């Protein structure tokens, strides 16, 4: 491999910069040339590609977001767009590519691998929704950000003896919800992966909690669950008379300085990706599984099904009484 390209694609996640920095510096250390590709596959197709030096990634390890910007690229979903991407790699002499993103981005990476470009995927998403890995870059920061925000909501909710519904991100996955459910001591967690309490059951729980003397109720609702946070808050207030507020945390969960955990994994995974390319590997995804950094075939990784830990879910329920 002479020249490695690096891009970030799909939703951004804190720690992506640490991963970019790691790819750039690990490749330079091996005597390779590195180019940064802006705005995901959009920049690849349009040739928004520039050489990166050790200095181009200085002072970014602590920054959220991605210095390479990210985008979704419809054109790249079509074979013609993918061919243009592969052609552009040839024009810029890119013979190895690191794609930092989620499942969708890996599908794009697989297409490029089939067109002869050696590609490696790094799991970057706050959602933790990639089946082959126990960890995705950005998850730890997002959970900590959500946890701190929920602590603040809880303070005021306790003072006013309110019920709070807090909606957290995760798209179709409930990991941020489950983790904050345990970390914030929620009374209930609503997840896309599980059969959730009905609105009636939640109302019963809130009334029982009031009778037990609880001064607040915190319900964490994953954005992909079957219940709408605002409607649920309205219904609870209507039926119980307890003042209830819905807070949708939204994009604040995607930003912020990455935690040490995110910086560490992103740095290790970036260097691992460069090692794989140096060994001539292609069409692989880097994962963290059972305490080890490993790699899987992209197709195999995309076929895996994620299953949420029943143990964590059970514990979240046991501790909510």
State the CB neighbour count (10 A cutoff) for residue 269.
31
Query: What's the chain's length in residues?
Result: 321
145 binds ligand ATP (CB under 6 A): no
125 binds ligand ATP (CB under 6 A): yes
Is 134 labeled as catalytic in the residue annotation?
no
Rounded CA gap, 149 and 65, in Å? 19
> Contacting ligand ATP (CB under 6 A), which of 1, 57, 103, 273?
103
Instruction: Give the burial string for 124-163 (b: 16+ CB within 10 Å, else e).
Output: bbbbbbbebbebbbbbbbbbbbbbebbeebbeebeeeebb
For residue 115, what are the CA distances in angstroms to 1, 46, 122, 283, 305?
16, 18, 19, 11, 27
> Contacting ligand ATP (CB under 6 A), which of 77, 182, 239, 304?
77
Q: Which residue of the set 12, 95, 127, 129 is catalytic?
A: 127
- Do the Cβ atoms of 126 and 33 come closer than 8 Å? no
Range in contact with ligand ATP (rule: CB under 6 A) among 7-15, 31-39, 198-206, 226-234: 7-15
115 binds ligand ATP (CB under 6 A): no
Residue 101 beta carbon to ligand ATP: minimum distance, rounded to whole angstroms: 4
Rounded CA gap, 154 and 162, in Å? 9
Residue 263 beta carbon to ligand ATP: minimum distance, rounded to whole angstroms: 19
Query: Residue number with the shortest CB distance to ligand ATP?
Result: 104
Range in contact with ligand ATP (rule: CB under 6 A) among 4-12, 87-95, 268-276, 308-316: 4-12
- The full DSSP string for 225-253 is SSS-HHHHHHHHHHHH---EEEEE-GGGG
Cite the annotated binding site for substrate by residue number. Answer: 125-127, 162, 169-171, 223, 245, 251-254
Number of residues that bind ligand ATP (CB under 6 A): 18
66 binds ligand ATP (CB under 6 A): no
41 binds ligand ATP (CB under 6 A): yes
104 binds ligand ATP (CB under 6 A): yes
Cα angle 116-121-123, degrees, rounded to a multiple of 5? 165
302 binds ligand ATP (CB under 6 A): no
Rounded CA gap, 261 and 94, in Å? 31
102 binds ligand ATP (CB under 6 A): yes
Site for ligand ATP in 9-38 (CB under 6 A): 9-11
223 Cβ contact partners less than 8 Å away, ≥ 6 residues apart:
167, 168, 169, 170, 171, 248
Range in contact with ligand ATP (rule: CB under 6 A) among 19-27, 70-78, 139-147, 226-234: 70-78
State the CB neighbour count (10 A cutoff) for residue 54.
12
Range in contact with ligand ATP (rule: CB under 6 A) among 5-13, 53-61, 220-228, 282-290: 5-13
- What kind and span of H or E run contains 196? none
290: left (phi over 0), alpha (psi -120 to 50) or beta: left
Q: Would the CA dihedral through 274, 286, 261, 128 be positive or negative?
A: positive
> Contacting ligand ATP (CB under 6 A), which of 76, 135, 288, 313?
76
Residue 298 beta carbon to ligand ATP: minimum distance, rounded to whole angstroms: 11
69 binds ligand ATP (CB under 6 A): no
Cite the annotated binding site for ADP by residue number. Answer: 21-25, 154, 185-187, 212, 214-216
Contact positions vs ligand ATP (CB under 6 A): 9-11, 41, 72-73, 76-77, 101-105, 107-108, 111, 125, 127
The set of catalytic residues is 127
């Amino acid at each position: 491999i002479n020249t490695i390209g690096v891009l970030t694609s799909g939703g951004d996640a804190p720690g992506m910069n640490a991963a970019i920095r790691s790819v750039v510096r690990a490749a330079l250390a091996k005597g390779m040339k590195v180019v940064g590709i802006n705005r995901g596959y959009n920049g690849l197709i349009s040739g928004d590609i520039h050489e990166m030096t050790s200095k181009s990634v200085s002072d970014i390890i602590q920054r959220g977001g991605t210095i390479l910007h990210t985008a979704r690229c419809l054109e790249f979903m079509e074979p013609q767009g993918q061919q243009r991407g592969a052609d552009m790699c040839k024009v810029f002499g890119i013979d190895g590519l690191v794609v930092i993103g989620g499942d969708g981005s890996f599908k794009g990476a697989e297409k490029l691998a089939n067109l002869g470009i050696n590609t490696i995927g790094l799991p970057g998403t706050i959602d933790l929704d990639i089946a082959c890995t126990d960890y995705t870059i950005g998850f730890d920061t997002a959970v900590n950000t959500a946890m701190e925000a929920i602590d603040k909501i809880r303070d005021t909710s306790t003072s006013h003896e309110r019920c709070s519904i807090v909606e957290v991100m995760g798209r179709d996955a409930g990991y941020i919800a489950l983790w904050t459910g345990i970390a914030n001591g929620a009374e209930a967690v609503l997840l896309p992966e599980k059969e959730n309490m009905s609105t009636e059951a939640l109302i019963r729980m809130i009334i029982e909690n009031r009778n037990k003397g609880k001064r607040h109720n915190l319900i964490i609702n994953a954005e992909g669950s079957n219940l709408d946070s605002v409607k649920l808050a309205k219904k609870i207030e209507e039926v119980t008379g307890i003042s209830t507020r819905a807070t949708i945390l939204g994009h604040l969960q995607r930003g912020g300085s990455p935690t040490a955990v995110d910086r560490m994994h992103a740095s290790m995974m970036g260097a691992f990706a460069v090692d794989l390319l140096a060994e001539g590997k292609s069409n692989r995804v880097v994962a963290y599984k059972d305490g080890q950094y490993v790699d899987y075939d992209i197709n195999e990784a995309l076929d895996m099904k994620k299953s949420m830990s029943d143990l964590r879910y059970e514990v979240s329920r046991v501790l909510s009484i």
